[in-house]
Amino acid sequence: MRIQSCYIAYDRYPGHKGSATHMDHMIAALKGKQSPVLLLSLPGNEYETSSSIVHHQFSELIENPLKRSESFSQWCYSELLKQEDINLIHFRDIWGGMAALKYGKAATVFEVNAVPSIELPYRYPHLSSDTLDKFRAIELECMLKCSAIVTPSKVTAGYMTNLGVEESKISVISNGTSEYKKELKPADAPENYFIYFGALQSWQGVNTLFKAMQYLQDMPDIHLVICCSQREKQVREIRKFAVQMEIDDRILWKYELDKPDLYSYLQYAIASLAPLSEVSRNIIQGCSPLKVLESLGNGIPVIASDLPVIKEIMEHKIDGILVQPDRPAELARAMRSLVLDEFARKEYGTKGKVRMERDFLWKFKEHQLTQIYSDLVIPK
């Protein structure tokens, strides 16, 4: 089998995180244009190799995260060298990027969702300034030397142009949504609840959400459903914080749900919550929150932080309510207003769903990416 293209991700795939959903559609676009595809990733859930996808997983056990990422990059390069003549390599991080650029025989697309110099300090706060400087140098090298860049946010695009990357090289393709079928309400779902779903990193604003729930103590029948993309043991500290805040008895915790199960909780919520914090991860690097797009796609209004990355994909008092970030009292007021105004939340949900299906369906995003591939690849 002659491999036509390669998709590289230093991420677990398949998986329950939003990144895995994003990857599903990027890979689908690549498969539609340059099949078969060599997929290189970290180990995820079971994946069935087919005639159009050859999936190799990096499974070397290395405890040090930096050494593991370097080893992943070397492994990717060795996997590329096994192929005769790949036309196109799409990578979503600098580890895959170093391998792709070193390979040197293919057009390259850098999918910039996050950059380590901004992202990793949230996970590893003791990283040295020298290490972060090295990351920045590699990030810029990948941006400057790749053939094209795709990114889901105008904020992220602006970050790169400020570094000196040519604007004409960058295409903004936001995350997307789908047309969803109605699911049955789960038996354990509370009667009245808000929902938060996705990962629980600090920049997601979960602490602000917990504090907002304290302001709703006079509404004891209002609950919160949290559908984590992480395993239960990975969020123990956050659950301890909920206990300290005396709100854990009003939270239903669910872990690593598949999409139909997730949507069965989402579709019966009062509103979906995206209380992003005003930190560099969101206001400098940028993002395109899937939780906002998927909520609106399911006809559920959103209460989110009033940040540029949010305003790229939702409108205040059209799809839901925007509130100032990191202000629990303001978030609580917005939540209270939707509890009391059933007409408003139905109107927001309906308008949001129509707008998502008009402008944000994944099939539109895949088509945009396919056009970029067509411009880059000359048939051999």
Residues 158 and 217 reside in one and the same domain: no
CATH number for the domain including 355? 3.40.50.2000
Residues 370 and 270 reside in one and the same domain: no
Q: How many domains does the chain have?
A: 2
Q: Is residue 183 assigned to a domain?
A: no
Give the rounded distance of the alpha carbon of 44 from its chain centre.
16
Which of 138, 136, 76 lies closest to 103 in space, CA to CA? 76
Which of 95, 256, 291, 94 lies closest to 176 in space, CA to CA? 291
Q: Is residue 65 assigned to a domain?
A: yes
Residues 253 and 342 reside in one and the same domain: yes
The per-residue pLDDT for 380 is 46
Residues 12 and 114 reside in one and the same domain: yes
Query: Residue 86, SS3?
Result: coil
Q: Is residue 82 assigned to a domain?
A: yes
Q: Is residue 186 assigned to a domain?
A: no
Query: Residue 127, SS3?
Result: coil
The per-residue pLDDT for 293 is 97
Residues 197 and 170 reside in one and the same domain: no
Residues 119 and 247 reside in one and the same domain: no
Residues 204 and 348 reside in one and the same domain: yes
Q: Is residue 282 assigned to a domain?
A: yes
Residues 200 and 343 reside in one and the same domain: yes
CA distance readout (Å), 354 to 81, 295, 350, 366:
47, 12, 6, 20
CB neighbourhood size of 376 (10 A): 18
Q: Is residue 60 assigned to a domain?
A: yes
Residues 231 and 330 reside in one and the same domain: yes
Indicate whether this model's pTM tops 0.85: yes
Element housing 60 (H / E): none
Give the rounded distance of the alpha carbon of 255 from its chain centre.
17
Q: Which residues constitute the domain of residue 366?
A: 5-176+361-376
Q: Is residue 279 assigned to a domain?
A: yes
Q: Is residue 185 assigned to a domain?
A: no
Residues 13 and 146 reside in one and the same domain: yes
**Average pLDDT of each block of 10 consecutive residues along the chain (380 residues)?**
90 82 91 90 74 88 90 97 92 97 95 94 91 96 98 97 97 95 96 95 93 96 94 87 93 94 98 97 94 97 98 96 98 98 96 96 95 79
Residues 138 and 225 reside in one and the same domain: no
Give the rounded distance of the alpha carbon of 180 from its chain centre.
19
CB neighbourhood size of 375 (10 A): 11
Residues 141 and 91 reside in one and the same domain: yes
CB neighbourhood size of 229 (10 A): 22
Placement of tokens 């491999």 in the chain: 3
Q: Residues 114, 152: contact at Cβ < 8 Å?
A: no
Q: Residues 235, 197: contact at Cβ < 8 Å?
A: no
